[in-house]
Amino acid sequence: MFLYNVSVIAEETIHHEIVSWIEDNIVQSQKFRVHLLEMLQSPHEGMTYCIQVVLPSEEHITDFQQVHLIPLQQLISESYKDKVFLFDSTMKYLKK
């Protein structure tokens, strides 16, 4: 099992728009079980959110990226350039 995490750091002026898009286009997904978290006491300026998905294989991670991450990256580059930064990480569960 893998935990795939996408951290999204958004300027305070537009963070509601980003969260709304994530909720409508990723969290509501019928294909993946997604959790959206807000980071408290973030060391970054702006608002930090984490999109977390537990997936059974690396192939499922690739599928999630194709379906959800690429459209989010496109939205950011087209509408929120220099206002939103994101990075992703993959973690493997050591014990079941």
Distance of alpha carbon 15 from alpha carbon 47, whole angstroms: 7
The whole-number average pLDDT for the span 1-18 is 95
Residues of the chain above pLDDT 70, percent: 99
Q: What is the pLDDT of residue 78?
A: 94
* Six token digits for residue 8: 């999204």
Q: Could you tell me if 68 and 23 are in contact, meaning their C-beta atoms sit under 8 angstroms apart?
A: no
Q: Residue 41 gets which letter from DSSP? A: T
**Mean pLDDT across the chain:** 92
Q: Which residues pair with 92 in a beta bridge?
A: 2
Task: Kindly report, residue by residue over 10-19, the tens digit of the pLDDT.
Answer: 999 999 999 9
Q: Could you tell me if 5 and 51 are in contact, meaning their C-beta atoms sit under 8 angstroms apart?
A: yes
| 91 phi and psi angles, rounded to 5 deg | -125, 145
The whole-number average pLDDT for the span 9-33 is 90
Q: What is the pLDDT of residue 31?
A: 80
- Whole-model pTM: value is 0.89
| 96 band by pLDDT with thresholds 50, 70 and 90 | low
Distance of alpha carbon 45 from alpha carbon 48, whole angstroms: 8
